[in-house]
Chain A
Amino acid sequence: MTEKTILYRGAEAEICLSNYMGFKAVQKKRVRKAYRIKDIDDRLISFRTKEEVKLITGARRQGVSVPIIYDVDLEDGTITMEYIEGKRVKDILNELSEGERARICEKIGENIAKLHNNDIIHGDLTTSNMMLFYDHIYFIDFGLGEKNGEVESKGVDLHVLMEAIESTHSRHANCFDYVLDGYKKELKEDANLVVKKIEEIVKRGRYR
């Protein structure tokens, strides 16, 4: 590893371009935050790093496209993983044709179902955390994810995506319906339970 190029500066981590034994890699380093006390900072950084690695490897085992993990440093809060070429779904979704958009969204839904079939909750399903590469949807940033089989968690997971689509792709808000179509197809348990849950969560929100 030589000098670092920062690819993206997220809210909680920096993504640097890196190299792992000759493979093009990215390094995700959770940055220390001066605004929070050390107790909270330490706890969040090591816990989230460990959880994220567990979830990414878990997702891969279920056939969902995620970056390959090369190396982990818990104290430092660093994960070195495969570099994904391709584009953020956030940037391309509005530009696609209606049919293509529906197809991509269904694919997203199918993959989320694969995760949920194995109780993997992504925790931050937004279109900026999905990459399109060779017709595969790569899921990145499992930083807020958890292992949880409850319908509630699955509902909240999808609700986050629903809100993200409503705010970022408001002209194509029906995208979420396509996501649900794909989700229903792939989910092993009764998807209607989850869909009902989402409706309940929406109502639970303020002033609905």
Chain B
Amino acid sequence: MVDKPNLFYIIPDLQLSIMICVGIEGTAHTIGVGIVDGTGKKCNVLSNIIKIYRPKQGGIHPREAANHHASYVADLIKESAEKAQVDFADIDLISFSKGPGMGPCLRTAATAARALSLSLDKPIMGVNHCVAHLEIGRGTLDDCKDPVLLYTSGANTQITAFAEGKYRVFGETLDIGIGNCLDKFGRNMGMEFPCGPKIEELARKGKKYLKLPYSIKGMDVAFSGLLTSAEQYHKKGESLEDICYSMQETTFAALTEVTERAMAHTEKNEVLLGGGVASNKRLRNMVQTMAKERDAHFFAPSTDLCIDNGAMIAWLGLLMYNSGIRMKVEDSFIDQRFRTDMVDVSWRD
């Protein structure tokens, strides 16, 4: 465990719950601003606008991404408020993605949040991006109460679930995220970022299964060997369709398997998807089939709430604030290595 000073403090006597929260997301390629209303028990998304930085070549350049975010964030805030039909005076809380993510991107979002917080004289809350992916599912989907989350995005691939006061990481990638694996392969094949959708399309036409390494260690997975192997198939002249098909079938089977293992281990019967790769229909289908086979419930938020977005950041901020957690502006710095299991989940029983 990493020793970090406790930046949150808890107010023992709860005042009136706050209702309207604006969330600013900026961990990687997406800058997003969302506004949610928590008047009911559920999360009501009033607006949720994103803008994605797309590098002309190569992967994400952190500084370029941050510049992109800086040039759009102010407009996005305005646009988001207009779309939500919320007056700035009605906003109760400003929430932002504290981490994990790329430093320059995080700092841009946090700076915007601080400026907004100080100018509106409203409290601020830095939240964990990975936890937000889980909470938005619980917040917006009926009957989704205590799920195992399969969170698959470019950088992150982890299986988390609530246990003993925290969202514990039961399994995660030992090397690269699944999205990164697909993107890197796609990029080397000349596809445009993000490559996932194109790979999914090609995979649908694939017929022949090419044997790829299937790497599971306990509940952890690894994809770098598979990536190399897939690229070698391409050099050998195998068709792109067959390679994409085999990559998807192998990696998604491994992800579905570790998710099922985590469900068996934690004895939970709900599974929730999150992250950009969760919009892949084949992955959804596999996890859904797995859930059906073990009489478990399958949940997947709508695509705009699966990918990185501001609404999930807003919702988690609201949950935390209403459970009594407070953050001072001077303590609102970012944390690139903010792990999921560093958050004390005080808003759940």
Contact = CB atoms under 8 A, between A and B. Distances in A.
B327 interface: no
Contacts of A124: 218
A11 B263 contact: yes
* Central interface residue in B169, B217, B256, B290, by most chain A CB within 10 Å: B217
A150 to B, nearest CB: 13
Nearest to A31: B293
A44 B168 CA distance: 28
A123 B217 contact: yes
Contact of B249 (A10, A37, A160): A37
Contact of B218 (A144, A170, A171, A207): A144
A33 interface: yes
Interface residues of A, number: 34
B347 interface: no
A40 B156 CA distance: 25
B163 A160 contact: no
Contacts of B168: 166-167, 170
B216 interface: yes
Interface string B332-349: 000011110000000000
A160 B174 contact: no
B135 interface: no
A39 interface: yes
Contacts of B260: 11-12
Contacts of A168: 163, 265
Given A39-B209, A126-B265, A160-B217, A34 B249 contact: no
A10 B156 contact: no
Closest 5 CB pairs of A and B: A160-B218, A207-B337, A36-B253, A35-B289, A11-B261
A148 B27 CA distance: 39
B286 interface: yes
A12 B218 contact: no
Interface size class of B (residues with CB under 8 A): 35 or more
Given A35-B286, A124-B218, A208 B2 contact: yes
Interface in B142-196: 155-156, 158, 163-164, 166, 168-170, 172-175
A114 B168 CA distance: 30
A204 B166 CA distance: 22
Interface in A30-54: 33-37, 39-40, 43-44
B250 interface: yes
B100 interface: yes
Contacts of B287: 35
Given A36-B286, A40-B250, A144-B217, A207 B100 contact: yes
A12 B256 CA distance: 11
Interface string A105-130: 00000000000000000011110100
B234 interface: no
Interface string B225-250: 00000000000000000000000011
Nearest to A173: B1
B214 interface: yes
A137 to B, nearest CB: 18
B294 interface: yes
Given A11-B263, A40-B249, A171-B164, A34 B293 contact: yes
Given A44-B214, A160-B217, A35 B253 contact: yes
B249 A12 contact: no
A33 B217 contact: no
B339 A11 contact: no
A39 B164 CA distance: 39
7 contacts: A11-B265, A35-B253, A35-B286, A160-B220, A163-B170, A206-B156, A206-B173
Interface in B20-68: none
Contacts of A36: 249, 253, 256-257, 286
B339 A206 contact: yes
B293 to A, nearest CB: 6
A123 B216 CA distance: 9
Nearest to A10: B264
Contacts of A166: 168
B198 to A, nearest CB: 21
Interface in A154-208: 156, 160, 163-164, 166-168, 170-171, 201, 204-208
A24 interface: no
Contacts of A33: 253, 256-257, 290, 293
A87 B251 CA distance: 35
Given A37-B253, A206-B158, 7 more contacts: A9-B264, A35-B256, A39-B209, A40-B253, A128-B265, A201-B174, A207-B336
B214 A40 contact: yes
Contacts of A164: 218
Contacts of A207: 99-100, 336-339
Contacts of B220: 160
Contacts of A205: 172, 174
Contacts of A201: 174
A171 B166 CA distance: 12
